[in-house]
Structure 1
Amino acid sequence: MQDVPDEINVVTLNCWGLKYISKLRRERLTEIGRQLAIASPQPHIVALQECFTQEDYHSIRRQTRFILPYAKFYHGAAFGAGLAILSRWPIEESTMYRYPLNGRPTAFWRGDWYVGKGVACAKIRYGPAAKQVVEVFNTHTHSPYEGGRPDDSYLCHRTAQAWEMAKLLRGAAERGHLVLAMGDFNMIPMSPEHQLVTTLAPVRDVWRVLHPDSSVGPAHHPAEEARRRPVPTAEFNIQENGAASDGPTNTWRWTKAQQKRLGPGKLPVPVSPDTPDPLGKRLDYIFAGSGDIDALGGGWVVKQARVGMMMRHPELGCSLSDHFAVEATLTFFPSPQPSPSPSPSPRASAEPPSNRDSSPTATGTLQPPDSPLLPPLTTAKTDSALQNGTFLHSAPPSSTHLPRSRSPSPSLSGSPPPPPPPPQTFPPHFNPPTLPAPTHSQILTLIKTYTAREQRQQTWRARHFFVSLLVSTACLVAVWFSPANYVAFLLVLVSSLGLVAGTVDGLLALLFFGAELRALKEFEWEVRNAGSSSITGGGGGGGEGDGDGDGDERRW
């Protein structure tokens, strides 16, 4: 194991690597691998989306194998998940978690169901201590094909996927590990899906940690229009709003006439930084949670967040993908250490742990920013980190809120300090997540609306199967009475094609729509249970209705 890092550089990029569909795919992804290999700062963990082929994955691996020797390509559904994770450190465990609501096979031209939308999970060890682990979650959620309208039939998918992601992140945080969720989430900042992730899991959107006043969508979006800000420039959208998608600096968003100006041997086509950018938005995110501050002897701080991979292909002149990358640097900030006591007890004189401590049971506490035990520089750093909210958790441990009179300094009182708190399995300031009651109601209404749609689809397709069966039988009977051979041929053809189409719809009604309706019941139960817990302060999911949903309806 190499030295425990003080900084972790992470990158997420949608590569736009759809086989047979994405233009110049091989050339672009090869260059993406080369740029990752020479990037500064050197990346430690990279999450890729829409990297669908083994050919492209191995091309990137060959380019990056010396700086990112560990990697995992994730398989899913018929066409593959398109997800990959590259790491400087060993991957101890890996899981491909498929979302319960995952698109529709009937929308085959969109392909979301066929690629198996889900979460690529990897547990990466960056140090020898028990908690020196980062759990990485890489995802590409369902695309908003219907423009995010109120009647968007895929809104329920993205809501359910955000809910599932939050559960995975919450579990990792409770294990006390550094948590990273990266990918193309297909949502705008502060949207309901975004708030589900940041409310139900102790993670923060690293861009908004450093840019809390950044945009909440493209300039024409109602939420952004309500802020009454001028239309941003291309440079402002990149530097301040983190808009890695749909901006004018990405050549794949140009018109066909503009793209014809690019190519081998042609002069570069620059884009003025002052170009108005009404469409640029943020769809790619890095969410992070700091881990067990006590066990690690400190917490992870967001040092920098930026939009990256904006260079163009050196020969083709095009952007490397239809998205730019989002990059972040996390810095480990150790807990302030008290000065030696005149008469320390054996327990008090123990050396405080740090991120470099290899002991699996290392513990420590984050001292108050204004403690007299801290050197002036450390006090200033701590105060800045806590006041600016750059610690990835929303608050320091509860001990930092004690009045100074309840946390006496041994140098002032002459008595030994109070013993440190016992080891924690998760950050001491982690509280059970809650959502406002109206949010639960909105999600339940969304589930009810989508469930009614799927029930109608299931009924219609089941009826189509039985009707096609009757029509097919009637056509075969009519063959006996057909006056000529060509009439018999047409009857058999109609019978066969009708039966095939009806059978497909029958299987969809039985298998796909049945499975999706059951997944919706599970989702509804979880939302109701969470709403009950937030009201009663405890688990409210049990009861007579478990199993079929009828009891849940009676209870509510």
Structure 2
Amino acid sequence: MANTSSFPPSNIRILSLNCWGLKYIATLRNERLAEIGNQIAAADPQPDIVGLQECWTQKDYNAIRERTQDFLPYGKFYHSGIFGGGLAILSRWPIVESNMVRYPLNGRPAAFYRGDWYVGKGVACARIRMGPTRRDIAEVFTTHLHAPYETEPHDSYLVHRTAQAWEIAKLMRGAAERGHLVIGLGDFNMVPLSLAHRIIETHSPARDVWRILHPESSIGAAKDKVEQARGVSMPNADYNVTVNGATCDSALNTWRWNEAHKKRLKRGENVVIEPTVDDPNAKRLDYIFFSSGSYVDATTGTASSEWTLEKANVGMTMRHPTLHCSLSDHFSVEATLTRSISDSSFSNNHSALPETYLPLDVYDEILSKISEYEARERFQRRLRLGHFGYQLSIFIGCLIGVWWSPHNYVSFILMFLSGIGLSAGVIDGLMGGLFVSSELRALREFEWEVRNTRALAEGKEGKAADSSEVS
């Protein structure tokens, strides 16, 4: 493996991709992920830091590592939850420290068909040393936030995703306060300027690279009301990729095609979609956020950013060379950062980060959503515990009924059905008594942080009400 260079880099190329590597579920998984490794290796310029999401298996991770290890000799596959978090980081420079930070709020075990809770979603963190000095450190955070299963504001998991955005914003802010380059990337399952997006850009100094370069880019799919309210014309597929930064649901992505096109692909046809076709569904869900380490010029005493954004683009839009399918159901987002100072101009005096806040009504909106969700979960807990009590009563009744059963087969049916019912009741009781209680406590922690921050934003430092214990 390569050693840390004595000459720190003057620029960094970053790539983030959701690989769609769901084991047993994702179509053509092995072939696609192997080709993803080939295309990362063939990229020009080659990336220096890569963040992967939905890379669920060690085998798929190893396949990508084998193809990229010549220029990305360092890597970490992160383990989390029951089935794994699907996160990985590859780097040109040594990863000197890493950890996996689980999200306190992350779906519900009852929604086993969605899987968010079982994979233990969180933030994969890596501290990367790019050179010999303390300032040659990048702190990289890659994540995959909870998926939206309904349209906001009706999404029942909105509170979970909001809390997750709050958590990663805290991690990025802490890294920035240490004076390090901060890189946050991944599939955030949010559209630009949504509540989660605003939380990240307000409660951390990290900025969305795409909106730095394209501040007027879309804030949703063209068919969405929030985008239609802007009064913009229907974008074509090429415009969505090059200007709006769309990484998901693009008309150019084969996994979003209609069944007729998919059947042609299965027959081996290389179906071509013109880039001028209307693209009403494409949106941006994948992001790179960055915050530069600051410095004070030793000559002028002026505070400046150490790293600046040079360019950003959507990538990995190519197809598999023989299967003719897209490499994932997402495209990648990529960016290049450039260092703007030399060693001689650097001073170790880092300026303090300014305190920034959202409008007070936004904190009130978050608190309102928390309150609604808490009421929902308390009701769910009562239902689940009530179900357990009901099934236990039925089971005891059947035990008693067996004494007067006229036939053995009737006794068997009574015990068999009541046993199944009691098993379901016990599972529901455990979810209501253990999981929901744990979720309510995590929810109360999030609520306290929001209330405290709102009080600070209102100028009432130290006057935020403490939370009472959740029963």
On whether the aligned pair clears a TM of 0.5, the verdict is yes
1:263–1:313 Cα change, 3 Å: farther
| Distance in 2 between residues matched to 1:123 and 1:512, nearest whole Å | 33
3-state SS in 1 of match to 2:396: helix
Give a deviation string over 1:285-326, Cα, whole Å, max 9, x none.
000000132389852111110000111000100000000000
Alignment partner for residue 78 of structure 1, among 75, 79, 82?
Answer: 82
| Distance in 1 between residues matched to 2:119 and 2:203, nearest whole Å | 27
1:353 equivalent in alignment to 2:344: yes
Alignment partner for residue 170 of structure 2, among 159, 163, 167?
Answer: 167
Whether the 8 Å CA contact 2:294–2:351 is kept in 1: the answer is: yes
Give a deviation string over 1:247-273, Cα, whole Å, max 9, x none.
110000012220122258x45222111
Q: Name the structure 2 match of 1:258.
A: 261
The CA deviation at 1:71 is: 0.4
Give a deviation string over 1:51-103, Cα, whole Å, max 9, x none.
00111000001011111000000111111000000000000111111111101
1:329 equivalent in alignment to 2:336: yes
3-state SS in 2 of match to 1:242: coil
Pairing of 1:277-426 with structure 2 (within 5 A)? 277-294=279-296, 299-334=306-341, 353-354=344-345, 362-363=346-347, 423-424=348-349, 426=350
| Distance in 2 between residues matched to 1:72 and 1:223, nearest whole Å | 38
| Distance in 2 between residues matched to 1:254 and 1:546, nearest whole Å | 49
| Distance in 1 between residues matched to 2:291 and 2:70, nearest whole Å | 28
Whether the 8 Å CA contact 1:131–1:292 is kept in 2: the answer is: no
3-state SS in 1 of match to 2:265: coil
Alignment partner for residue 45 of structure 2, among 26, 38, 41?
Answer: 41
Whether the 8 Å CA contact 2:261–2:271 is kept in 1: the answer is: no
Whether the 8 Å CA contact 1:174–1:427 is kept in 2: the answer is: no
3-state SS in 1 of match to 2:161: helix
Give a deviation string over 1:200-220, Cα, whole Å, max 9, x none.
100110001111111111112
Q: Name the structure 2 match of 1:530.
A: 453
The aligned amino acid for 1:154 is Y
The CA deviation at 1:144 is: 0.5
| Distance in 1 between residues matched to 2:131 and 2:228, nearest whole Å | 46
Pairing of 1:4-403 with structure 2 (within 5 A)? 4-148=8-152, 150-263=153-266, 266-294=268-296, 299-334=306-341, 353-354=344-345, 362-363=346-347
The aligned amino acid for 1:317 is H
Give a deviation string over 1:187-208, Cα, whole Å, max 9, x none.
0011111001001100110001
| Distance in 2 between residues matched to 1:123 and 1:325, nearest whole Å | 22
1:461 equivalent in alignment to 2:464: no
| Distance in 1 between residues matched to 2:296 and 2:284, nearest whole Å | 34
Whether the 8 Å CA contact 1:297–1:334 is kept in 2: the answer is: no
The CA deviation at 1:457 is: 0.4
| Distance in 1 between residues matched to 2:155 and 2:36, nearest whole Å | 34
The aligned amino acid for 1:448 is S
| Distance in 2 between residues matched to 1:24 and 1:539, nearest whole Å | 55
1:328–1:235 Cα change, 3 Å: same
1:487 equivalent in alignment to 2:410: yes
Whether the 8 Å CA contact 1:291–1:427 is kept in 2: the answer is: no
| Distance in 2 between residues matched to 1:517 and 1:79, nearest whole Å | 24
Whether the 8 Å CA contact 2:15–2:47 is kept in 1: the answer is: yes
1:448 equivalent in alignment to 2:371: yes
Q: Extract unaligned runs of 5+ from structure 2.
A: 298-302
RMSD: 1.7
Q: Extract unaligned runs of 5+ from structure 1.
A: 336-351, 355-361, 364-422, 551-556
- Give me the TM-score of the superposition, normalised by structure 1: 0.81
Whether the 8 Å CA contact 2:234–2:279 is kept in 1: the answer is: yes
Whether the 8 Å CA contact 1:263–1:317 is kept in 2: the answer is: no
Q: Name the structure 1 match of 2:442.
A: 519
3-state SS in 1 of match to 2:443: helix
The CA deviation at 1:547 is: 5.0
Whether the 8 Å CA contact 2:253–2:326 is kept in 1: the answer is: yes
Q: Name the structure 2 match of 1:345.
A: none
The aligned amino acid for 2:224 is H
3-state SS in 2 of match to 1:536: coil
Q: Name the structure 1 match of 2:469.
A: 548
The aligned amino acid for 1:225 is Q
3-state SS in 1 of match to 2:340: strand
Whether the 8 Å CA contact 1:475–1:494 is kept in 2: the answer is: no
Whether the 8 Å CA contact 2:105–2:164 is kept in 1: the answer is: yes
3-state SS in 1 of match to 2:231: coil
Q: Name the structure 2 match of 1:386.
A: none
Whether the 8 Å CA contact 2:53–2:186 is kept in 1: the answer is: yes
| Distance in 1 between residues matched to 2:71 and 2:110, nearest whole Å | 42
Alignment partner for residue 395 of structure 2, among 445, 464, 472?
Answer: 472
The aligned amino acid for 2:257 is W
The aligned amino acid for 2:408 is N
Give a deviation string over 1:532-552, Cα, whole Å, max 9, x none.
1112253434x6x455279xx
The CA deviation at 1:112 is: 0.7
| Distance in 2 between residues matched to 1:298 and 1:435, nearest whole Å | 23
| Distance in 1 between residues matched to 2:292 and 2:462, nearest whole Å | 27
The aligned amino acid for 1:505 is D
Whether the 8 Å CA contact 2:218–2:227 is kept in 1: the answer is: yes
Whether the 8 Å CA contact 1:6–1:332 is kept in 2: the answer is: yes
The aligned amino acid for 2:54 is E
What percent identity do the matched residue pairs reach?
A: 54
| Distance in 1 between residues matched to 2:409 and 2:394, nearest whole Å | 19
The CA deviation at 1:131 is: 1.9
Whether the 8 Å CA contact 1:263–1:315 is kept in 2: the answer is: no
3-state SS in 1 of match to 2:201: helix
- Give me the TM-score of the superposition, normalised by structure 2: 0.95
Q: Name the structure 2 match of 1:408.
A: none
3-state SS in 2 of match to 1:35: helix
| Distance in 2 between residues matched to 1:48 and 1:74, nearest whole Å | 10
| Distance in 1 between residues matched to 2:177 and 2:242, nearest whole Å | 34
Whether the 8 Å CA contact 2:444–2:467 is kept in 1: the answer is: no
